[in-house]
Structure 1
Amino acid sequence: MAEILRVYPLLVWTWVRAAAQYPVSMVLLAVATAAITSLDLAAILLMFAQAPRIAGFTAPEVLFLYGTATLAFSVADLMFGATERLGQHLREGTLDAMLVRPVSPLVQIATEDFSPRRCGKLVPPIAVLALVIPRLDVPWDAGRALMVPVMVVSGTAIFAGLWILGAAVQFVLIEGQGAAKSVTYGGAYLTQFPLNIFARDLVRGVTFAVPLAFVNWQPALYVLDRPDPLGLPEALRFASPLVAVVLCAVAGTAWRAGLRHYRSTGS
């Protein structure tokens, strides 16, 4: 782990330094990425232009969900989004070259073609959270204030675990990138809204099967002082860190198992 923490930023810095050779292009791409990321925010604002509440939640409350979900997803995407390309490496045989290098192949894939423009994704959610958190009508105390960074960090770890798990699945299903994206990108969109707008079976699925509800929904119920629509135990509102640890452990185990059973393409 110490080696990973040392090498990861070095590889990232290598790609950033290469991109910085064209500073105007780098800045314009970051601005464009921020603008594209803001489209979901624009859609939410259009909804509130037609109705004062969505599923009983006010505009600041829904924007709080948007901000926490999008920030967690964007940080995870920045760090591990490139792992979804594993299937391409398997088809082309380029994973073989990574395996003989003295660096974890996971780190090599995660940092591959790292582009500073993706940092533009962080701008909209950070700006939204800075604006809406002071406007939330909740009884702020130390517990709720602490829960906000905890849910962002836990949500980031959950999305990262899902990305690595989706990559590990590609050791078996080489064309599984689309299915993995449906969980990561689809999960990012789903968690931007109150989950009670969706069918109860779907909510149960993203709580007990694919734990997207723990990205921000369950802890947000505590922060916003809202009851759980499914009547689940209140203890689940504090379970995000534990869920993140378990999911990352499962993802790490699946990744190592995939590497152990990998057979070279011979190319």
Structure 2
Amino acid sequence: MADRPTTAAAYRALLGAQLRAQTQYRFSFALDTAASALITLLDVVSVLVLFRVTPALAGFSFTDSLLIAGLANAAFQLCDMCVGNIDTMREYIRTGRFDAVLLRPLRVLPQLVFGDFSPRRIGRAAQALVVLVVALSLADVTWTPARTVLVVIAPLSGAVIFGAVFVAGSTTAFWFVESGEFANAFTYGGRDFTIYPVGIYPGWFRAVFAYSLGFAFVAYFPGLALLGRPDPLGTPGFLPWCSPLVAVLAATAAALVWRVGVRHYRSTGS
């Protein structure tokens, strides 16, 4: 009797099935990937437009702001590539497909991630990383070993923070099936928030999104650390180096929320 497939092999099979299905028509897939990659340039264009009418943004020059936008965009696109499809959770619950996911002898969240993986998002992530490299070449960064490590860790930490928001936001579908717009306000709204220096936002809005939800640790604080400048808002000097810690805390909180949501689920009844 053949050995039972390992869990890792099962996840690879799910991922492989998605890749084969979506790359079956190669020209269409290449065109879709290229068009998808161009979307990442829109955030850069928005920064360019702003600097057509102002010489500085909350005390940050164009190159400094471009670095923040590059970090934010790279983090978001890496997250979107890996777990962005989790926002289809409400469709799984509405149609009853989530029941089938629960019946399989695999963990629920990885099934959703691998089972709906969209390879065209690879183009967006690649484009975002190119933009980040360009921004780093233009910004006035004095390279040290610590900053070299940070420029690698920061996009990954930011991706984890965004991923935590995606998972927690999608979990609300267990209670409110029509929760898409509410979740998008924090996921895609968080992306739009992070591409600019947080000083441009009013105090209460900044307190909620930048600090309470941790979005300042995606790009703003890592940007300050890379540029070697203090925060104009007067926050403590150690915060720009805390993105990995915030990412761990965010992922832990999202995992707890997800677990509560799955336990709350009672099927569609159909």
Q: Aligned residue for 1:219?
A: 222
Residue 177 (1) aligns with residue 180 (2): yes
CA 1:152/1:99 → structure 2, altered by over 3 Å: closer, same or farther? same
Alignment equivalent of 2:159, drawn from 124, 144, 156: 156
Give the Cα separation in 1 of the matches to 2:45 and 2:182: 27
**CA shift for structure 1 position 186:** 0.7
Residue 103 (1) aligns with residue 106 (2): yes
Alignment equivalent of 2:255, drawn from 239, 252, 255: 252
Give the Cα separation in 1 of the matches to 2:206 and 2:10: 39
Q: Does the CA-based 8 Å contact 2:69-2:219 persist in structure 1? A: no
Q: Does the CA-based 8 Å contact 1:72-1:156 persist in structure 2? A: yes
Give the Cα separation in 2 of the matches to 1:158 and 1:165: 11
TM-score normalised per structure 1: 0.92
Alignment equivalent of 1:201, drawn from 204, 208, 214: 204
Q: Aligned residue for 2:45?
A: 42
Give the Cα separation in 2 of the matches to 1:7 and 1:229: 50
Alignment equivalent of 2:94, drawn from 91, 94, 104: 91
Question: What pairs up with 1:256-267 in 2 under 5 angstroms?
Answer: 256-267=259-270
Q: Does the CA-based 8 Å contact 1:87-1:177 persist in structure 2? A: yes
Unmatched runs of 5 consecutive residues or more in structure 1 = none
Q: Aligned residue for 1:131?
A: 134
**CA shift for structure 1 position 72:** 0.8
Give the Cα separation in 2 of the matches to 1:248 and 1:105: 16
Give the Cα separation in 2 of the matches to 1:223 and 1:190: 20
Q: Does the CA-based 8 Å contact 1:165-1:254 persist in structure 2? A: yes
Structure 1 runs (4+) greater than 6 angstroms displaced: none
C-alpha RMSD of matched pairs (Å):
1.8
Aligned residues: 265
Q: Does the CA-based 8 Å contact 1:200-1:230 persist in structure 2? A: no
Q: Aligned residue for 1:119?
A: 122
Unmatched runs of 5 consecutive residues or more in structure 2 = 1-5
Q: Does the CA-based 8 Å contact 1:82-1:111 persist in structure 2? A: no
CA displacement, residues 163-216 of structure 1 (integer Å, 9 cap, x when unaligned): 111122221222212111111101111111111111122222223321111111
CA displacement, residues 113-152 of structure 1 (integer Å, 9 cap, x when unaligned): 3222111212332222222212221322111221111111
AA aligned opposite 2:80: D
Give the Cα separation in 2 of the matches to 1:65 and 1:10: 37
